[in-house]
Amino acid sequence: MTQTSQPKPLAGQAAIVSGALGDIGRAIALTLAHQGAHVALGDVKDPAEAEPFLKEVRGAGVRARYDRVDVADAQAVGAWVRAAAKDFGAPALIVPNAAIVTLADFRAVTPEQFARELDVNLHGAFHLAHAGVQELLAAKKPGRVVFVGSWAGQRPHVHIPTYCVAKAGLRMLSQCMALELAPFDILVNEVAPGYVDAGLSAMLWKKNPPAREKARRNVPTQRLIDPAEVAAAVAWLCDPANRHVTGQSLVLDGGLSLTSVTTKKEGEA
């Protein structure tokens, strides 16, 4: 009796992921690839840095490409999306993930820092979602848009107000898009993680290990989030079996948003 391999839920679909060389972006790209999606990766890093990861993604048996692109540049994003669509077909799975953060409270943040962070975190997400959806509509294909937001979009953090503003805007963008695009079978949602043990948080915690433990204890579930867990949530929302969830924020914060507002840096006493 011959055994057949399990079908991959995203087999043959095209995905596009920004910020794809960061910890969360890598996890998302790999998860989508292992579920059968061809993946277009985008980031601001040199293409040489992407080569080892491209090989890893292709090792899942899918096609992959990397483009160096600043998501704040609408024309560059449009060119990237068109090139990916020509290569893989209209991107059915659109994941705006690229983000930066400025550790400065309202009194310290400069207008230039505020503008740049909004350009990347909010405008950049819009640029990718807009260009990708235009390709889907032109091809008359269904799709899924999953924004990578943050629990900071719904709770104030005085040390990162610009980030909070950008992520709050992202949430409303997701809802407005979801309402408009539902008749076209394009579902739009947000995954909003809490304390992820990666990226900027991990770098800060590496310099101050006690802060990591303090942050972990502040989470009601007493657990930090692994990037693979964020990726799994994104993949679930991308799954064709998801036919009804749209306009929602899947908050992965272990209950953080149920507790007091964050008035200090993560892990401070």
CATH of the domain spanning 14-196+224-258: 3.40.50.720
Asked if residues 85 and 14 have their Cβ atoms less than 8 Å apart, the reply is yes
Token digits for 192? Answer: 């909003």
The pLDDT assigned to 208 comes to: 84
138: which 2 tokens? 């032109």
pLDDT tier, 260 (very low <50, low <70, confident <90, very high otherwise): low
**Percent of the residues in the chain that have a pLDDT greater than 70, as a whole number:** 94
Average pLDDT, rounded, for the chain: 93
Give the model's pLDDT for residue 81. 98
The pLDDT tens digits of the residues spanning 217-252 come to: 999 999 999 999 999 999 999 999 999 999 999 999
Q: Is the pLDDT of residue 144 over 90?
A: yes
Answer yes or no: is pLDDT of 204 > 80. Answer: no
Q: What is the pLDDT of residue 2?
A: 47
What pLDDT, on the 0 to 100 scale, is given for residue 6? Answer: 76
What are the pLDDT digits (tens) for 1-55?
444 567 899 999 999 999 999 999 999 999 999 999 999 999 999 999 999 999 9
Predicted TM-score (pTM) of this structure: 0.93
Distance, in Å, from the CA atom of 31 to the CA atom of 117, rounded to the nearest integer, reads 27
Edge-first strand order for the sheet with 186-193 is: 64-68, 38-43, 14-18, 93-95, 143-148, 186-193, 249-252
Cα–Cα distances (Å) from 149 to 38, 66, 69, 79, 141, in that order, read: 23, 23, 20, 24, 25
